[in-house]
Chains A and B, each alone.
Chain A
Amino acid sequence: MAHGEEKTETRRRIKKLLMTLIEGHAFVVLKTSPGGTVEDVLYEGVDTRMFETMWLGMSVDELPRVTPMICGVCSATHHVASVKAADQARGAEAPPEAWRIRRMINMGIHLNNQVLHPLVFGLPDFLPPSVEKRSMFALAQREPELVKAGVALMELGHRVVEVYGGRDIHPINGIPGGVARKPPREEVEKLRERFEKHRGDMELFAKKALDIMFSGKEKIDSYPPGYTYMMSLVGDDGGYDIVNGRVRIMDGRTAAVEAEFSDRGRDYLNYLHEYTVPYSYIRMVTTKWRAKNPREGTIHVSALARANAVKTYHVEWADELRDRAAEEFGRPFRHPLLSTVFRVVESAALYELIARELERPIGDPIYSPPSRDTGEGAAVIEAPRGTLIHHYVAEEGKATFINIITPTAINAAAIEADLRAYFMGLNVAEMSDDEVYAHAAAVVRSYDPCMACATHAATRDRVALRIVVADENWKPLRVLKPPRPRGW
């Protein structure tokens, strides 16, 4: 119908892009004027699994068994956060030796994830666009050694979680008050030997991965940062610590500390504000003092924020790699795509930290019994993707309130802000769909968004690109059939 088509030309359009090569499923929604100029960019998570209500009325002790299932990629981090919160709710003080085991669980999954992201999601992005179906398997054909080393490191990370946490995915060892069992000595010894053996792999991986990314400097520079704040957990000595410490909110431009709060208890509620948006199942997060105007308080959490916040990684080599990145890109580190660089740097640091920790045998005690069954606890720890918060209230041993803020929920607003910084004012009607998709995906992937975490769920859609014609108030009028571009 000619008349109808004519009419749609004057209407606004919404473009939806399904993101691939991320954990879980998300859409980037581009809202354009009739001419095709981008007026707004939204980031949509498409589902919920209701983790915050499903365990109400059940035993709070069992939460560390249940919450890891929020996310299969960083389940160990959820486990440790959950145990840390349940500790407080049950009035138990875990002994330092138990904390060492818990820290190892978290470090193992960090090592795995910080290698997994560059390998599976990050580096394929740096492959030339001419390569069809960019993926880890495509990367393996060009850089077989890199992928082989990376796969070995990923397995090592999983092994650490398995030995210390009981299972590689969804670990179980932590219980309120400590841990259930010490890792058997012979397993630790085996692991130590493997860490000795794969040291060469780590060096090769870090070197090759950083080389690829440094050679793509223009690509990194071309995506401007749009977020306002950065947030990270910093150890008590100001160094790298992913389990205990203080939480810092820093200015996104200068990395100056804006606020600092405790990693335990209700304190986080005084600084962070959650809000619901009508287009996404992610509860967005902003700073409390920008609650009136949430888009001005977007927070970036990731390896990038940690690299800015911590004084040292406690590992010389990792500090040197960070200095090398500082020479290339200048401090503070701000470009969102730089996160992938610091994931590699962190993996180097973690490798060394884990190897050191494996040398020291674990002593006693590993458990102190809980003292109460009515209480409250909140825990802030670092997940591979950023800061993770679990908050429980228990009455007579039963959970009565559960709140979980995941790193990707915090990052969602920052992703939007970065996408806006890139796309606002651009005319997407003049760009090819492939191009639009590639730019959006590059920004989104750099955050390593874990959609299973963010919405406590994940889903998919058959339609990769959905164009909706909308009226002045963005009310959808009609869905246009997408063109069938090759290689999508």
Chain B
Amino acid sequence: MPRLEPKDRYTLALVPLSGCGGCEVQALRALALAPDLQKRYEVVYWPLVVEETRLPDEVDVALVEGLVRTRENLEALREIRRRARVLIALGSCAAWGGIGGNADSFNHRLSMRAIYGVERIEESAEILPRTFAVTDLVPVDYVISRCPPPVEHIMLTLRAIAEGKPVKTADSTVCSQCPRKMKPIEKLEFKPGLPGPDADPETCFLSQGYLCLGSVTTMGCGAPCTRHGIPCFGCGGPHHEIAERRDMDIITALARKIATLAGLDPVKDLDRVVKKLLEVYNPRRFYVFTFASQVLRGKPHGFAVKALVESRRDPVLRKRLEERARFARGEAPPPSPGGGEA
């Protein structure tokens, strides 16, 4: 763990890469709500709140938000790593690639054509052929995961760093904070889509046959989604054991839990349950926030890579992209539902 020399006031920088700014808002709230942090940290670079466009040569603590999408992002990231003593990856995008990683589902050139009608925006930043999570490119000292990271987590981390104390880490999953009751699955069946308010509000979504990533996602949010009747999408990223161990992947870890709930053997019947899950759900659905992460792409089972390849090779989706490209160029109206053009 990196240690800062004791000082009254540390310098703080926040470097946003390709992100949505939600983490910045949370960091701003953390600073605005904790006067003691305002005393301990001096913001030296943060385009959102300070009129300062030059990164200082040395920073004590730097937060990085967003994923690496363009060459400028990459250079900015390397630069801040060089200058910062402590680098914190803030939010799911920096930690796991986040939602932006889903753009890798398609070739970036096809995607650009589909959105802009051209392959390259000539006079602006250069797009990299794939997206990267910050943690895959440079060593980081802390990861505050989740989309968006809770204000308290940012406060606790910054406070602990300022005081030179170790930071508490999450060890459990979202399930431990979810009030729903887990019951054995009677019939192994999965329902696509989201449950409406007519689903049982007391029972676990897995027991009801809906896909919920709570049991494989790291804790810390207080399970607001499942409390509101929406299954977990895994915005916190996988539990650290799944990330660390070679033999575990999001799909297999989840299938083991589902199989045991259904009274099957978690080892022998694993393949069956995985197959059943993949029949109903698109494999991308398990990696909504982790699609860009090299950690999960490098797993020996390769479910993430398979998902990537499948969506890239899908002829139907390619046709959709071409349709959209025609719309983007203004040559055709958007496709009407049920095939054909309006």
Contacts and interface: CB of A to CB of B under 8 A. Distances in A.
Interface in A249-290: 266, 269, 273-276, 278-281, 283
Contacts of B230: 65, 166, 172-173, 175, 180
Contact of B16 (A66, A70, A394, A460): A460
Interface stretch (A47-55, A212-220, A238-246, A424-432): A47-55
A350 interface: no
A403 B327 contact: yes
B220 interface: no
A458 B21 contact: yes
A256 B253 CA distance: 61
B53 A46 contact: no
B225 A166 contact: yes
Contact of B229 (A22, A66, A181, A462): A181
B70 A72 contact: no
Contacts of B50: 20-21, 133, 135, 137
A278 B121 contact: yes
Contact of A457 (B18, B323, B342): B18
A280 B121 contact: yes
Interface in B235-257: 235
Given A180-B230, A460-B15, A280 B20 contact: no
Contact of A170 (B22, B106, B198): B22
Contacts of B299: none
B124 A462 contact: no
A178 interface: yes
B153 interface: no
Interface residues of A, number: 96
B79 interface: yes
Interface in A129-176: 133-137, 151, 154-155, 158, 166-167, 169-170, 172-173, 175
A48 B115 CA distance: 10
A50 B103 contact: yes
B264 interface: no
A465 B54 CA distance: 10
Interface in B28-82: 28-29, 32-33, 38, 43, 47-55, 66, 69-70, 72-73, 75-76, 79
A10 interface: no
Contacts, number: 308
Contacts of B99: 49, 54, 66, 69
Interface string A229-249: 000000000000000000000
Given A120-B49, A180-B229, A49 B18 contact: yes
A70 B194 contact: no
Chain B interface size, under 10 / 10 to 19 / 20 to 34 / 35 or more: 35 or more
Contact of B51 (A20, A45, A283): A20
Given A135-B49, A401-B320, A460-B72, A72 B197 contact: no
Interface in B187-230: 192-198, 201, 224-225, 227-230
B127 to A, nearest CB: 7
A367 B121 contact: no
Contacts of B25: 72-73, 169
Contacts of B114: 52-53
A460 B53 CA distance: 10
Interface stretch (B132-140, B160-168, B173-181, B330-338): B330-338
Given A52-B324, A283-B116, A21 B20 contact: no
B320 A459 contact: no
B337 A69 contact: no
B107 to A, nearest CB: 10
Contacts of B33: 151, 155
B26 interface: yes
Nearest to B120: A278
A46 B194 contact: no
Interface string B2-20: 0000000000000111111
A53 B111 contact: yes
Contact of A374 (B118, B127, B195, B337): B337
B324 A401 contact: yes
B233 interface: yes
Contacts of A177: 196
Nearest to B52: A133
14 contacts: A49-B18, A50-B106, A53-B324, A58-B285, A66-B102, A72-B26, A135-B50, A151-B32, A172-B224, A276-B118, A279-B124, A395-B338, A459-B17, A459-B69
Closest 10 CB pairs of A and B: A72-B22, A464-B53, A180-B229, A50-B103, A54-B102, A166-B228, A279-B123, A72-B20, A69-B99, A72-B21
